[in-house]
Amino acid sequence: MTMLDIQRRSATTTEAPQVRHLPKIAKLIDVSTCIGCKACQVACMEWNDLRDEVGKNVGVYDNPADLSDQSWTLMRFSETEQNGKLEWLIRKDGCMHCADPGCLKACPSPGAIIQYSNGIVDFQQDQCIGCGYCIQGCPFNIPRISKKDNKAYKCSLCSDRVAVGQAPACVKTCPTGAIHFGTKEDMQDYAEERITDLKARGYQNAGLYDPQGVGGTHVMYVLQHADQPELYANLPANPKIAATVSLWKGITKPLGLAGFGLIALGAFFHFIKRGRKEVHEDEDDQLAIVRQSGSNGRDA
Amino acid sequence: MSQPNEIERYTASQRSNHWMVAILFILAALSGLALFHPALFWLSNLFGGGAWTRILHPFLGVAMFLFFLILALRFWKHNHLTKNDRKWLGQIGDVIAGNDDKLPPVGRYNAGQKLLFWVMILCMLALLVTGVMFWRPWFAASFSIDLVRLAALIHAFAAWVLIAGIMVHIYAAFWVKGTMRGMLTGKVGRAWARHHHPEWYQEVTEEKRS
């Protein structure tokens, strides 16, 4: 897994290595050609050696009902009526691999979350402390903490496969070719073709989902209704790291530390200037005198 | 019982209570600071690593809160702010300069101590409530994600205020000689009491006489 260069590391304030340039990669999910077969879910489980518990049918096609430590990707099914026609929208949910990852920003454990120079955001479970700050940081509600080991898990974009020049397992297995993998540039170009085609077929608002609020993502969607991403199982229209998280993890931290430093210095130099305040316990109480050493002291 | 020049300021039980809070505060603060800033993550080594720090911190915090609650209830009645206290706070420059003769007379606690008392109550309550809200794996999932985010922010802020307040508290206890002894042995000097807490001194000595 370390065959890729790391360009960002959680809870690390100094520069990460950034001399070498790897091409940015991306996974493109073409929602318009997805048939909801869940082969990607199976491939993900198989490659990553995961096996979720068999759940209960909750009356919808989503199976399992939600992402979990064992289910890193999930088809989410939504029904909507557009232009008088029923549409069944199927979105493969999972980590979006943000260029500006909220999870990495929030994580307090050095190196528990890393971003490879090709754009993949990966969790290092051996460094994970189980605090769940990544959940607070994520604008897409992706990381899940395992009940078994209290460590956070999510899609790794098959960083182990990508490191050796292979496409992620879900891409490899998709029977309709709805999932593509390559350089981000190539994926954007391919998405353009798909969007042109979709527009020609009457989807006037077809477009690419590559939200800039998180610096763009390394998992992108081609959406038939890119003007309403919420239709797709509440895909956020303008995802951003929450203001509370930015404030919590931003300027307040160095300012807070500086504040402690100033108080400590202030106290120390107050002592240097004033000395300690001492009342002498003279035999005669009435004659007790206050003494202060230092420049302003009122030595008796 | 006590030396003629000494007055009892704290009972053994009150002192133990105070130091339980103090010890738990140090542990909660160090484990919290480890997660507060990457530069302080090494503090997690004191607790057996990052995961142990995450596990222990909330328990230390809750224990600190419980002992503090007892302490606060015990000292509640001594901490009502009076007119003289407001005047004292207005002359904070004289306080820092040590111009004690210019300050209004002080009772059992001065206005700074009282203010710290109320700030600590607010901080402790805020820390408890917000801390529970993002305590994993148990409680965090019961709150909406936006509330959990806000809780983490307020928790960090309240912790900052509390730690800053305690830094001042510790320095003030060191600065005013004889104060630390009061909390360690329970006894303060007669002159110390008459000078720093004249109204309290009067109360105590009158009680003894009557």
Which pLDDT belongs to residue A292?
47
Strands A113-116 and A85-94: unpaired
Shortest CB distance from A263 goes to which of B136, B168, B174?
B168
List the single residue in A131, A141, A271 with the smallest CB-CB distance to B175: A271
Q: Does B207 touch chain A (CB under 8 A)?
A: no
A residues 133..152 contacting B (CB < 8 A): 133, 135-136, 141, 145, 147, 150
Q: Is A131 in CB contact (< 8 Å) with chain B?
A: yes
Spatial contact of B41 and A109, defined as CB atoms under 8 Å apart = yes
**Among chain A residues, CA nearest to B172:** A267
Domains and CATH numbers, chain A: 6-249 (3.30.70.20), 253-292 (no CATH)
In angstroms, the CA B124 to CA B119 distance is 9
Residue B74 has pLDDT above 70, yes or no: yes
Report yes or no: A11 at the B interface, CB cutoff 8 Å. Answer: yes
What local confidence, expressed as pLDDT, does residue B65 receive?
98
Question: Does B104 reach chain A within 8 Å, measured CB to CB?
Answer: no
Helix A252-274 to helix B145-175 angle (10° resolution) is: 10
User: Chain B residue closest to A280 (CA)?
Assistant: B191
d(CA A246, CA A248) in angstroms, rounded, equals 5
Interchain proximity A290–B148, CB inside 8 Å: no
Range from A15-24, A189-198, A249-258, A270-279 carrying the lowest mean pLDDT: A15-24
Who wins on pLDDT, B5 or A61?
Answer: A61
- Taking 70 as the threshold, does the pLDDT of residue A208 lie above it? yes
State chain A's mean pLDDT as an integer. Answer: 92
Average pLDDT, chain B: 95
Give the model's pLDDT for residue A299: 40
For the cut 50, the answer to whether the pLDDT of residue A94 exceeds it is yes
Indicate if the pLDDT at residue B171 is higher than 90.
yes
- The answer to whether the beta carbons of residues A137 and B149 sit under 8 Å apart is no
- Closest Cβ opposite residue A11 in set B38, B153, B195: B38
Contact B36 A256 (CB under 8 A): yes
Q: What is the pLDDT of residue A5?
A: 87
Q: What is the pLDDT of residues A229-262, one digit of tens each?
A: 999 999 999 999 999 999 999 999 999 999 999 9
Read off the pLDDT of each residue in B19-25 and give the average, rounded to a whole number. Answer: 98
**pLDDT digits over A112-121, tens only?**
999 999 999 9
What does the pLDDT average to over B203-210? 80
Measured at the alpha carbon of residue B160, what is the angle toward residues B154 and B164, in degrees to the nearest 5?
150
Would you say residue A293 has pLDDT above 50? no
Dihedrals phi, psi of B33, to nearest 5 degrees: -65, -30
pLDDT for B207 equals 76
Which domains are seen in chain B, by residue range?
Answer: 8-81+97-209 (1.20.950.20)
Q: How confident is the model at residue B3 (pLDDT cuts 50, 70, 90)?
A: low
The mean per-residue pLDDT over the stretch A149-161 comes to 97
Contacts of B177 in chain A (CB under 8 A): 276-279
Among the listed residues B78, B169, B195, B197, the single catalytic one is B169
Q: Is B155 a catalytic residue?
A: no
DSSP single-letter state for residue A64: S
Sign (positive/negative) of CA torsion A215, A219, A220, A225? negative
What whole-number percentage of chain A has pLDDT above 90? Answer: 86
Contact in structure between A112 and A100 (CB atoms under 8 Å): no
Name every chain A residue with its beta carbon within 8 A of the beta carbon of B44: 129
Judge whether residue B181 has pLDDT over 50.
Answer: yes
Q: pLDDT > 70: what percent of chain B?
A: 97
A257 to chain B, any CB pair closer than 8 A? The answer is: yes
Antiparallel, parallel or unpaired: β A85-94 and A6-9:
unpaired
Closest chain A residue by Cα to residue B38? A11
pLDDT at A284 over 90: no
> Look-up: residue for tokens 């917000």?
B130
Calculate the CA dihedral of residues B115, B116, B121, B126 and round it to 10 degrees: 110
CB distance A129 to A109 below 8 Å: yes
User: Do the Cβ atoms of B137 and A130 come within 8 Å?
Assistant: yes
Whether residue A297 is predicted with pLDDT greater than 60 in this model: the reply is no
DSSP A227-289: T-GGGTTS--SS----HHHHHHHTTHHHHHHHHHHHHHHHHHHHHHHH--EEE---SSGGG--
- pLDDT of A18: 75
**Spatial distance between the Cα atoms of B28 and B128, rounded to a whole number of angstroms:** 12
CB of B37 within 8 Å of a chain A CB? The answer is yes
Contacts of A248 in chain B (CB under 8 A): 149, 152-153, 156
Which residues of A are less than 8 Å from B134 in CB distance? Answer: 132, 136
Residues in chain B within 8 Å Cβ distance of A103: none
CA atoms of B46 and B60, how far apart (whole Å):
14
Q: What residue numbers of A does the annotated binding site for [4Fe-4S] cluster cover?
A: 34, 37, 40, 44, 95, 98, 103, 107, 128, 131, 134, 138, 155, 158, 170, 174
